[in-house]
Amino acid sequence: MLNKIENLVAKSVNGREIVVSLVPLKKMQNTRHGFEWVEVGKKVLLQSGVEIDLNLDGRSFYTDVHEMFRFTARVN
């Protein structure tokens, strides 16, 4: 399986922009054929290497307290 990393620009309310990447969020699932990794969503990968969960709306995330960034569209 080829890992595809997308670079996107996220913008905060005060106009600050950062470039982040989307990486798959995988969880272990039990199937008839044993356990296997299944993609259940996306995570945000900052340039520093820190992975952050997306908020429930699927288009925003927090890097720190009161530091919310938003994508222009929902990421799938």
Please indicate whether residue 29 or residue 5 has the higher confidence score (pLDDT).
29
Q: What is the model's pTM?
A: 0.77
Q: What is the pLDDT of residues 16-45, one digit of tens each?
A: 999 999 999 999 999 999 999 999 988 999
Whether residue 4 is predicted with pLDDT greater than 80 in this model: the reply is no
Residue type, 37: W
Is the pLDDT at 58 greater than 70, yes or no?
yes
Residues 6+ apart with CB under 8 A from 74: 57, 58, 59
Query: What's the pLDDT at 2?
Result: 45
